[in-house]
Amino acid sequence: NAGVTQTPKFRVLKTGQSMTLLCAQDMNHEYMYWYRQDPGMGLRLIHYSVGEGTTAKGEVPDGYNVSRLKKQNFLLGLESAAPSQTSVYFCASSYYRTGPGELFFGEGSRLTVL
Amino acid sequence: AQKITQTQPGMFVQEKEAVTLDCTYDTSDQSYGLFWYKQPSSGEMIFLIYQGSYDEQNATEGRYSLNFQKARKSANLVISASQLGDSAMYFCAMREDGGGSNYKLTFGKGTLLTVNP
Question: Do B103 and A50 make contact, defined as CB atoms within 8 angstroms?
Answer: yes
Taking contacts as CB-CB distances below 8 angstroms, the residues of chain A near B108 are: 42
Query: What pLDDT does residue B97 have?
Result: 84
Query: What pLDDT does residue B101 have?
Result: 60
Average pLDDT for A5-13:
97
Closest residue of B to A99, CA-based?
B50
Residue A102 scores a pLDDT above 80 = yes
Chain B nearest-CA distance from A7, in A, is 15
- pLDDT band, residue A95 (cuts 50/70/90): confident
Question: Do A43 and B103 make contact, defined as CB atoms within 8 angstroms?
Answer: no
Closest residue of A to B42, CA-based?
A107
Average pLDDT for A50-79:
96
Name A88's Cβ contacts closer than 8 Å, sequence gap at least 6.
A36, A37, A38, A108, A109, A110, A111, B43
- pLDDT band, residue A99 (cuts 50/70/90): confident
Q: What is the DSSP pairing of strand B111-116 with strand B10-14?
A: parallel
Residue A53 scores a pLDDT above 70 = yes
Q: Where are the beta strands (DSSP E) in B4-110?
A: 4-5, 10-14, 19-21, 24-25, 32-39, 46-52, 60-61, 64-69, 74-79, 88-96, 105-107
Residue B100 scores a pLDDT above 70 = no
Is any Cβ of chain A less than 8 angstroms from the Cβ of B90? no
Partner A, chain B 70-89, Cβ-Cβ below 8 Å: none
